[in-house]
Amino acid sequence: MNHHIPVEASLGLAIGFLVVTWAAFRSSDAPKPGVMSRGGMAAVLVYAVLAVPVFATSGLTLLGLVVLLVVIALAFAANTLSRGRAAQDSPGTLERFTRTAVSIGIAAVLLVSAAQTISLVGRLDPRIVVVTVAAVAAYLVFAQGLAATHRIGSTTMWFMIVPVVVALFLGLFLGGADVLVPPLRPVAGISAASAVGIALALIAIGWADNTLRTSARVGKWSPVRTLLGPLVVVALIVVGLLMFLGGGVLVPSLEFFTVPANLDKVPGVAGAALLFLTVLFTGLTAHALSGTATGEPDAQLSKTTTTTLWAAIIAAVLALVGLGAPMLLLLTSLVAAALLGAQAAGRHADRGLAVGLVVALFALTALLVTGETAVGWWTGLAVLVTAVAAWAAAVTGTGESRAVPAA
């Protein structure tokens, strides 16, 4: 065992934070179109990070990969559709608070994932990982606004070349395509219940995701290109791992504990892995936090807001209290479902949203009482019921609050 792993881990994290800081401050001008496009790709990549654990816990196969890509595309499509509808999109509306809550929930899930992954590789206290990643991401968004998140997102997408190359190398030279169909390694694969549950959850989250919505509005990037980029990256990484691991990726499993725990046997490998993970999770967390910003961005996309700092604190607390990523994902999807249903009605969105949030609370209580909080039929039904209740309340409501076409 390499007894210098604490030093190597610290260097990996420090250099990773320096990379994202350099990316955020490397220019005082507004990001170029290519940077904005890659920043949008990083925002889409967040959906993959949210969904992959659901697939991997039952065994991710080639068929599961196809379903995963469809789920990511559905979340993106929901966000695209949501841009045609908006309530009174000012900082004081219930819609704004709901979108902020969804962004905080996404950031909290990312922080939990960062803590689990980085602490496993670097043998660091996960609480320290949560605090440092949240603090750095929040500071960069506060200091440079959307310009920072898109520059960091662009850098993150360039860094994604590394896992693509590594995964394909392992798959092609230490495995083979013949193990993909049928899988050499027997795994259950994702069930229909889990697939439907995570699809409904991400559709709701995609609709309410203010990060991707704002990026599309100010970046004016090509939707097809912005979606295809992350899909190709995810597909190449997973296919490489499937070829290497016998056609099935299962987490937790022996290799996903022994391999990271022994990266320090080759000096520099653990540090390089931590550098990449730091850039990845800090970049994605910064993207999520940027969705909490209020007001319109300035010409350089660098307008700052203290809302981001408070959002980072709340997200870090949620990640530290031990709720776990699945519960945080459930909470976020229920809140998002209320907004989806209310805005889908096309009128009286504020009333529908208020009713939807109340129904979401009752749905969450029912799931907790029955113990059915794992992603599946019941969580999917809870998301669906919340959205339908919000839609019905908006359709039958009275008042002046109406959903209007987004600018």
Output the CA angle 65-67-73, nearest 5 degrees: 105
* pLDDT digit string, tens, across residues 85-140: 654 444 448 888 999 999 999 999 999 999 999 988 888 889 999 999 999 999 99
**Helix pair angle (62-82, 192-208), 10° resolution:** 30
Residue extents of the structural domains in the chain = 5-324
Number of Cβ atoms within 10 Å of the Cβ of 6: 12
Pairwise CA distance, residues 247 & 284, whole Å: 28
Pairwise CA distance, residues 203 & 73, whole Å: 9
From residue 44, give the alpha-carbon distance in Å to each of 216, 248, 294, 344: 11, 24, 21, 22
Q: Which residues pair with 86 in a beta bridge?
A: 404
DSSP letter string over 68-125? HHHHHHHHHHHHHHHTT-BS--STTSHHHHHHHHHHHHHHHHHHHHHHHHHHHHH---
Greatest distance between any 2 Cα atoms in the chain:
68
Here the tokens at position 51 are 């969904």
For the cut 80, the answer to whether the pLDDT of residue 393 exceeds it is: yes
* pLDDT digit string, tens, across residues 13-34: 999 999 999 998 887 777 888 8
**DSSP-derived 3-state class of residue 181:** coil
The pLDDT value recorded for residue 294 is 65
Pairwise CA distance, residues 23 & 150, whole Å: 9
